[in-house]
Amino acid sequence: MTASLKSVANQILSETTERAGGAPGVVAMATDRNHNIYEGAAGFRELGKDDPMSLDSVMAIFSTTKAVTGVAIMQLVEEGKISLADAARKYVPEIAEIGVLDGFDADDQPRTRAPKRDITIADLMLHTAGFCYEFFSHDDLKYRTAKNIPTVVSSTFDSIRTVLLHDPGERWTYGVNIDWLGRIVEQQRSKRLGEVFSERIFGPLGMTDIGFNMSESMKSRRVTLHDRAQDGKLTPLPDLVLPQPPEMDMGGHGLYATVGEYMKFIRMFLNDGAGPHGRVLQAQTVESMSQNGLPNGMTSGGWTTSIPSLSNAGEFDPGVKKTWAWTFQRNEEPTSSGRPAGSLMWAGLGNLYYWIDRKNGVGGFWGSQILPFQDVASYPGFVAFESAVYRHH
């Protein structure tokens, strides 16, 4: 760790957590191909309590779970068990029951029709199947309400058996696709997704403080989620925890972890699939996962909100062309923070953000626990942190 990076990054974490209306607590880390080059924590695990945020604090990492499921799918592809071109119904027949939303009748009851073609595994990997989330789509929320479908944070299979907002392959729409991929992994491995992760990904990478079901030690270090009201006021939500144990291991958002454990996963991508205790993916698989997979000049962009308490409307790096790699957003042009074109990033609902720059062999993760998404204090802190890593590492 350079002295200048340590000094500047520490200052960013302090400012993010200490200024009025700032984030309650943050953990941030950056890595090169070999080891972490910065580790920092600031603030508290819960507002109004004395537990300081620490490097071993455990967070709900939400959609940063997705890339782990993507790796489990690509392991199956490498073994020849599945193909990305396969129809998903071959492995999860229930997906064939899901129709395309064709509007609502006078009584607000949804009308649906059959999709023009089957959803493929590639559609699910690329978020082109037509699925969305209830908090990013008024129509998805209205459909779920009409059909009494539970929220995705219920960690149930029923929560992802919703509706398609358009035909498969028509456009990029971010949603519950990766939870379906988790079911495919379970179908192929005849095991819970968490077991597959432990054996085939966490083991080779030496990741222990991570799982769908928290150990007692993890529970004792869990960071409380906070709600930011429209007026900026933060309220701790100590009881807001994903079901323990979950009915279904949610491949799209269900993991709890420390930031340090996720850094090991990021390093695997910087090292072409190799981990300290074995290879997770072949080098050519990592390379292909890092490329744009969207067809026909399609791009990935921002999002709207239908539940403002869960997410603000927004976009990462507006004005920068973005596509979708195999479970990551890919920037096709350099970002203002210094990330070069062709890098990968994604995020988690509780204001967690990471990036993977395979060109320069650097990556980082910014973890906080605040709703709604793209928080006014935490997200700018992440951008400042990433910028500092590029200027000072």
In contact, 144 and 134? CB cutoff 8 Å: yes
DSSP secondary structure code for residue 66 in this structure: H
- 241: Cα separation from own chain's centroid: 17
CA-based nearest residue to 33, from 286, 292, 309, 219: 286
- Strand 110-113 and strand 100-104: the pairing is antiparallel
Q: Which of 91, 133, 143, 174 is catalytic?
A: 174
Say if residue 115 is preceded by a cis peptide, omega within 30 of 0: no
Q: Which of 57, 63, 337, 378 is catalytic?
A: 63
Tokens of 91: 């492995």
Catalytic annotation on 90? Answer: no
Catalytic annotation on 66? Answer: yes
> Between the CA of residue 213 and those of 28, 181, 247, 335, what are the distances in Å?
23, 19, 10, 36
How far apart are the C-alpha atoms of 125 and 95, rounded to whole Å?
A: 15
Q: Which of 57, 66, 311, 378 is catalytic?
A: 66
Say if residue 372 is preceded by a cis peptide, omega within 30 of 0: yes
How far apart are the C-alpha atoms of 293 and 84, rounded to whole Å?
A: 11
DSSP secondary structure code for residue 64 in this structure: G
The CA-CA-CA angle for residues 369, 375, 379, to 5°, reads 90
Catalytic annotation on 219? Answer: no
Cα dihedral 386, 390, 392, 393 sign? positive
Tokens of 166: 């358009």
Residues that are catalytic: 63, 66, 174
